Amino acid sequence: MLEQVKGFNSDMGIYMDELTRSMDFLGQGKDTIFIGQSVEVSGTAMRNTLLNVAQDKLLEMPVDEDFQMGMAIGMAIHGMLPVSIFPRWNFLLLATNQIVNHLDKLKEITGSQNPGKLIIRTGSVQGSLVRSGFLFNASGV
């Protein structure tokens, strides 16, 4: 099926398989939760990498990226490992307030040397095919 997508190559299939395997691994953690748009319902390539993750670990969010990131930061402070998923990198730009003004300063805000971990995942565009990979991992802030 993916072979018919313009710009697809076999390396992309391996890449998607590895992303799926990574999400499966993260999903086994008792405190891990995946939050974002199209994590519970189909609609993005991101969802296809979460098909094996337990339904109770998926939290569908409204289209409010700033709120989503703030919620993920709060979850991290309280000991969870949120994987905050943004289907496209430009959606992540709408969460920069939370990243720059809160996530970046968690040690100072909480007074803790280990204020929690958070993974931010977003898609990138290469040609006409959307890659559903990691932009960066902000764990151990």
**Structural domain range at position 68:** 2-131
Torsion of the alpha carbons at 87, 90, 94 and 98, rounded to the nearest 10? 80
Asked if the model's pLDDT at residue 31 lies above 90, the reply is yes
Here the CATH number for the domain that contains residue 89 is 3.40.50.970
Q: What pLDDT is recorded for position 137?
A: 43
Query: At which residue do the structure tokens 């960066």 appear?
Result: 136
Could you tell me if residue 34 is inside a domain?
yes
In a domain, 138, yes or no: no
Distance between CA 45 and CA 138 in Å, rounded?
22
16 in any annotated domain: yes
Describe the strand order of the beta sheet including 58-60 as a list of residue ranges.
58-60, 32-36, 81-86, 119-122
This prediction has a pTM of 0.76
Residue type, 44: T
Asked if residue 140 is part of any domain, the answer here is no
Q: Which residue did the predictor score with more confidence, 124 or 134?
A: 124
Instruction: Tell me if 16 sits within 8 A of 2, measured CB to CB.
Output: yes
What pLDDT is recorded for position 125? Answer: 61
pLDDT confidence band for 43 (50 / 70 / 90): confident
* Structural domain includes residue 137: no
